[in-house]
Amino acid sequence: MKQEGTLKSATNLDVTIIDYKMVMKKENSKDIYSMDNCPIRNVLNRIGDKWSILIIDLLGSYGTLRFNELNHHIGSISQKMLTVTLKMLEADGLVTRKLYPQIPPKVEYTLTEMGKSMLPSVAMLKDWASENMPAILKSRAQYSNQGHLETDKKPD
């Protein structure tokens, strides 16, 4: 039975908030980044996929969007992947889903306050990516031309 004040870790183990904070306070801990409850790893595993940050950014820009509007803005995402990603963001408390009981069903998605708190970090990432993309593309091309990428090698 789950006690009040517990968190669910990535490995489905109950970790009390007090235990979690004690672990996170350990300074100079060599294995903090390899732990299941490492905040960096845990968060990046969820939002570091191909679509989550795009969805958070879109909802931050537009406020509330319906499923098909999100799908239209992203363009290259399958309906299944959009559904899975939205469910994960909802499970993490970053997005809320509002279902209107009508035919056809109308579903809207909005960022929660916690989701909105990510927007400054997302904006910084967008700015950094825009500023550095030319240099990154140039570096990738140079790296590829030196034969470092397996996918660029031609079969014998």
DSSP letter for each residue of the chain: -PPTTEEE-TTS-EEEHHHHHHHHH-TT-TTGGGSTT-HHHHHHHHHSSSSHHHHHHHHHHHSEEEHHHHHHHH-S--HHHHHHHHHHHHHTTSEEEEEE-SSS-EEEEEE-HHHHHTHHHHHHHHHHHHHHHHHHHHHHHHHHHTT--GGGSPP-
Q: What is the mean pLDDT of residues 20-27?
A: 56
Of the listed ranges 8-12, 36-40, 67-71, 95-99, the least confidently predicted one is: 8-12
The domain segmentation of the chain, as residue ranges, is 1-25+34-47
pLDDT at 116: 97
Portion of the chain with pLDDT greater than 90, in percent: 56
pLDDT at 154: 54
- 5 sits in the region (left: phi over 0; alpha: psi -120 to 50; else beta) called left
Q: What is the mean pLDDT of residues 30-46?
A: 75
The mean pLDDT value of the chain amounts to: 82
Q: Looking at the predicted structure, is the pLDDT value of residue 104 above 70?
A: yes
pLDDT at 23: 56
Comparing 45 with 59, which gets the higher pLDDT? 59
pLDDT at 43: 86
pTM above 0.85, yes or no: no
Portion of the chain with pLDDT greater than 70, in percent: 71
Q: Looking at the predicted structure, is the pLDDT value of residue 149 above 70?
A: no
d(CA 130, CA 114): 25
